[in-house]
Amino acid sequence: MQELTSSGIEKRLATRKLIAASERDRSCFEGSDVEHLVVYLDVNGRRPATLQNAFPLIGVAFSDAGEADLQEGLALLGSLGTVPAVPVQRLDPVYKSDSFLLLRALTEGGVGRLARYSASITSELAILRRERETLLENYRALEDAFQARNWEPVSEIFSHDPYADPKDEGIGQLLATAFVEQLLPVSSLGVAGFALHLHSVPRTSGELVVALSYLESGEGVAEWTVPYAQLVPNWNFFSLPRTCGGAARTLRLRISATGPETVGLSLGYPIAGERYSARSELPHPDLDLRPLAFKVFTGLPGVKPARAPNMIAPSNLLEGQYIVDYRLAVGALSQIADVSVTPIVPEFQTVRFLEHEHAIVCHPLPSGISAGAISRAVEPGTISFSASAVIDHPEGQPAAVSFLLAPANSNARSEVAELARKGAAKPSAFFSGWREVSSSQVVNINIQLDEPARGPMDLMILSRAVTNSVDYSWLKVSGFRLVKQSTEAADVR
């Protein structure tokens, strides 16, 4: 395509006729500065209504007869359908020299600027056309490469089939009290998603929480928080919005669960290598050289993968975020303060710290709420919190436990009183809801925040009675584990 420069367009415009006039007024234009811009319409000759190298912007008349002829001639141009209505300006022959200066400034000045602007647009369009042709050629080359190598948009490249050992105890409780990690034995380059096998899914409320991150840096990729109602007792596919690109790194899955019942996450056949075996922070016999049952899918790096059946999209993208686990230090636990709101004055200490067990005891009373507060326990960026609770006496009566997160340095007793009075926390706080606890089974309580904590927060542990008796109801809370997001890399082991 031939490119037009600004000077070239202006030269062409110099030969265009931009002013329309009657043949009767030709003498008025002869010898003027705008003579080369005038096209004369001869009405008497009844020439066809066509124009050559002319695009009149204005009609000029110096006499009544000339104006009448011009109006009649311009009316003939309407049949062309491509020339807009041309305004007619009546001028006085006495001041025609001044009028010609204005006409030239109007036609050549304004049209010249338009010509330069049009030239720049034309040049850019030419560049865009070349780039588009190059892009189409690259797409054709990619298609040829895909066809030559028999590549598919999304393909399975690795799989560990599920295997049920008769001696398996199941790791469902482990997911509720801690987490399970699994390294993917493939490069991150081109990974578009993965699948996890579940042999059973609870019908009650609860969620499966899956996080994908890079092992080398700890940087997060994505997180899935999936209600049990969306899962099936088979393969469940977790997709990425875009396949992994950049440098080849190691991907790590971290899986936990919430809810009163455990989810049946399947394990695979035993393997020889420890590196790619599933692991947890708590020992478990089922994880002895056993990986999770999973599949890995790849696609074109950096491209949105094609949809597949039962694909689950991420709840959060963690690009540029680093996931850090941390626990409440002994020093912080030991500073717990009693902020109970109850009319009863007990003869024993209802809230205290068990030093050797790194646990908190919060004994409920027949009425009101027993509560202990730990100032600034929750760090900025925290997105989840979990702890275990149990009645630490074989004859202990059941109780209800909950957690309350409030902005740092808030009035803890006032926060608890608000909850006791209205049954709901203040808008600035986060309430976990009540969970019943007994002496027969340890209950794990998980809290997922809607967004990372913007600043440090106070943690309050609350308990209350669920029956008429609170005899031996020593509610013990331990295993405080928190997860936070950070924009700075932490030491990754």
**Every domain of the chain and the residues it spans:** 12-115, 154-319, 327-486
DSSP annotation of 330: H
pLDDT in tens, 14-57: 556 778 888 888 888 888 878 888 888 876 655 555 666 677 77
Which of 403, 277, 383, 253 has its CA nearest to residue 325?
Answer: 383
pLDDT in tens, 181-212: 999 998 888 898 999 999 999 887 778 889 99
Which residue is listed with tokens 């009035």?
411
pLDDT number for residue 50: 63
pLDDT in tens, 229-253: 899 999 999 998 888 877 788 999 9
How is domain 154-319 classified at the CATH fold level?
A: Jelly Rolls (2.60.120)
The Cα angle at residue 358 between residues 467 and 265, in degrees rounded to 5: 75
* Separation between Cα atoms, residue 436 and residue 432, nearest integer Å: 12
pLDDT at 492 exceeding the cut of 50:
no
Which of 291, 287, 285 has its CA nearest to residue 268?
Answer: 291
pLDDT number for residue 447: 77
Question: For the chain, how big is the Rg over CA atoms in Å?
Answer: 40
pLDDT number for residue 153: 67
Least confident window among 99-108, 349-358, 360-369: 99-108
Which has the higher per-residue pLDDT, 337 or 485? 337
Which of 356, 460, 362 has its CA nearest to residue 406?
Answer: 460
pLDDT number for residue 374: 94
Helix (H, G, I), strand (E, B), or coil: what is residue 85? coil
pTM passes above 0.75: no
The percentage of residues in the chain with a pLDDT greater than 70, rounded to a whole number, is: 83
pLDDT in tens, 75-123: 777 666 556 677 887 887 777 777 777 777 777 666 666 666 776 787 8
Half-sphere exposure of 190 (CA within 13 A, CB side): 15
pLDDT in tens, 107-164: 766 666 666 677 678 788 888 988 888 888 887 777 666 666 555 667 888 999 999 8
Its sign, for the CA torsion 149, 152, 158, 164, is negative
How many other C-beta atoms are found inside a 10 Å radius of the C-beta of residue 468?
A: 7
How big, in percent rounded to 5, are the helix, strand and coil portions of the chain? 25, 35, 40
Give Cα separations from 344 to 336, 347, 349, 423 (angstroms).
20, 10, 12, 20
Backbone torsion region of residue 24, taken as left when φ is above 0, otherwise alpha when ψ lies between -120 and 50, otherwise beta: alpha
How is domain 327-486 classified at the CATH fold level?
A: Jelly Rolls (2.60.120)
Kindly indicate the confidence band of residue 469, based on its pLDDT and cuts at 50, 70 and 90.
Answer: very high
**Residues sharing a CB contact under 8 Å with residue 251, sequence separation 6 or more, in sequence order:** 183, 184, 186, 188, 191, 212, 213, 214, 215, 221, 244
> Both tokens of residue 21?
């006039």
pLDDT number for residue 150: 56
pLDDT number for residue 9: 47
